[in-house]
Amino acid sequence: MANHKTDRISEDIQRELSAILREMKDPRLHDGIISIVRCDMARDNSFCRVYISSMKGLDTAKTAVKALKNAQGFIRHELGVRLKLRYAPALAFEATDSIEYSANISKILMDIDLKAEDDENDEDDNP
């Protein structure tokens, strides 16, 4: 059975982490478009795994993860204050290439669509 409270807190953490990320001044976080893809909370809300992705690729995401690990105490404190949690969860940041992967899939699908349109136009031109 799904724990709705844990899911709600996970979504709140993702939203607030995005806001905190925009406010941070570390240049490693503003190298490209950095996005929080997903937050996985433990059932007891004591631990949260945060997945970070970048439009520029996995290397940029790994650099952002290093910056976030350096500021982990600050981020955890800010989460506790903003969400009014009794205990802010411990955070673990991980880099993922999901944005780059999905952009590549989108590009491939657009190329297929354009090729299909070209084939249709060629068939219409040749009676």
Element counts in the chain: helices (H) and strands (E): 4, 3
**Domain assignment present for 51:** yes
Q: Does residue 59 belong to any structural domain of this protein? A: yes
Query: Is residue 124 in a domain?
Result: no
- pLDDT tens track for 11-47: 999 999 999 988 888 888 877 788 898 899 988 888 9
Quick check: is 110 in a domain? no
Cα-Cα-Cα-Cα dihedral of 71, 76, 78, 82, to 10°?
Answer: 150
What angle, rounded to 10 degrees, do the helices at 4-23 and 72-83 form?
120
**Residue 109 domain-assigned (yes or no):** no
Q: Quote the longest CA-to-CA distance of the chain.
A: 74
43-91 tens-digit pLDDT: 888 899 999 988 888 888 899 899 999 999 999 999 989 988 888 899 9
Strand order in the sheet with 34-41: 34-41, 47-54, 90-95
Domain that holds residue 65: 4-98
Look at residue 111 and tell me if it is in a domain. Answer: no
Count of other CB atoms within 10 angstroms of residue 60: 22
The share of the chain scoring above pLDDT 90, in percent, equals 29
Residue 105 located in a structural domain? no
Report the predicted TM-score, pTM, of the whole model to 2 decimal places.
0.74
Beta bridge partners of 92: 49
The answer to whether the beta carbons of residues 27 and 18 sit under 8 Å apart is no
- Determine, yes or no, domain membership for 49: yes
User: How many domains does the chain divide into?
Assistant: 1
Q: What is the DSSP code (8-state) at residue 95?
A: E
The CATH number of residue 77's host domain is 3.30.300.20
Determine the Cα–Cα distance for residues 98 and 35; give it in Å rounded to an integer.
10
